[in-house]
C-alpha cells in the first residue's frame, strides 16, 4: 500500500525548526563556502566525512543547529526514523564530530525534495504583500521533506510530521508553515 499522498495538503504543511537555540550548536568545516548551500540542497559532492566542531556547548538533541539557516545535523535516532518511516526527500551526509558530548553518529541533513516558489496574494515575491503566502501543489515533487523554490525553509508533509511528533525527538519543533494553496 502506498502511504504517500497523491495531492499536497498545503495548509497542513509544517516547518522543521530547532525547539531551542540554547542547546548544542555545531559548525561544519568545509573548504568552499558554497558547500553549505549544496549540503542543504542535497547536492553536495565534496569530501566525506564532513568535519564538525562544537560551536556552542549545551545539551545535544536529535536535531543540532549550525550557523546556516535550516542546515542541521541529525542524530542516528532521527535518521533511523526517516529511513524506517520511508520519508522521502532527504539525504544524510556522514560527519566526524569533535567535542560532541554524545556518542551517537551525526549526519548533515540535506533536503532533496522541491516545490515551486512561495508566492504572495498578488504573485509577488514573499515579503512584499501581507495578504497571504501561497504554494502551488502542482509544483511539488511528491517528497515528504522539501524546499520551496525561493526559500531554504524545510517543509514537512502531514504524514512525515506525524511520525516525527510521535517519536518525541529532542530539540525538534514542527510549526505550521502558514501557507495556502495557490488560488485558481
Note the pLDDT of residue 125: 52
* Radius of gyration for the chain, computed over Cα atoms and rounded to the nearest angstrom: 17
Q: Strand order in 180-181's β-sheet?
A: 119-120, 133-135, 180-181
Q: Torsions phi, psi of 183, nearest 5?
A: -65, 140
Q: Where are the domains of the chain?
A: 10-181
Note the pLDDT of residue 99: 87
Note the pLDDT of residue 173: 97
Model pLDDT for residues 75-126, shown as the tens digit of each residue: 999 999 999 999 999 999 999 998 888 788 999 999 999 999 998 865 555 5
Model pLDDT for residues 112-170, shown as the tens digit of each residue: 999 999 988 655 555 544 457 899 999 999 999 999 999 999 999 999 999 999 999 99
CB 62 within 8 A of CB 76: no
Distance CA 154, CA 13 (A): 10
pTM of the model: 0.89
Amino acid at each position: 500500500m502506498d502511504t504517500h499522498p497523491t495531492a499536497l495538503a498545503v495548509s497542513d504543511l509544517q516547518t522543521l525548526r530547532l525547539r531551542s537555540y540554547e542547546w548544542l550548536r555545531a559548525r561544519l568545516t568545509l573548504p568552499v563556502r558554497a558547500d553549505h548551500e549544496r549540503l542543504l540542497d542535497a547536492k553536495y559532492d565534496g569530501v566525506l566525512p564532513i568535519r564538525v566542531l562544537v560551536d556552542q556547548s549545551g545539551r545535544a538533541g536529535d536535531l543540532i543547529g549550525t550557523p546556516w539557516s535550516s542546515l542541521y545535523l541529525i542524530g542516528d535516532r532521527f535518521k533511523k526514523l526517516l529511513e524506517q518511516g520511508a520519508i522521502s526527500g532527504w539525504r544524510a551526509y556522514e560527519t566526524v564530530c569533535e567535542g560532541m558530548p554524545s556518542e551517537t553518529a551525526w549526519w548533515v541533513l540535506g533536503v532533496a525534495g522541491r516545490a515551486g516558489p512561495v508566492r504572495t496574494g498578488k504573485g509577488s515575491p514573499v515579503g512584499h504583500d501581507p495578504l497571504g503566502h501561497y504554494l502551488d501543489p502542482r509544483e511539488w515533487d511528491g517528497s515528504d521533506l522539501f524546499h520551496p523554490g525561493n526559500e531554504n525553509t524545510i517543509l514537512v508533509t502531514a504524514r512525515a510530521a506525524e511520525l516525527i511528533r510521535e517519536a518525541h525527538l529532542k530539540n525538534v519543533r514542527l510549526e505550521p508553515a502558514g501557507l495556502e494553496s495557490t488560488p485558481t
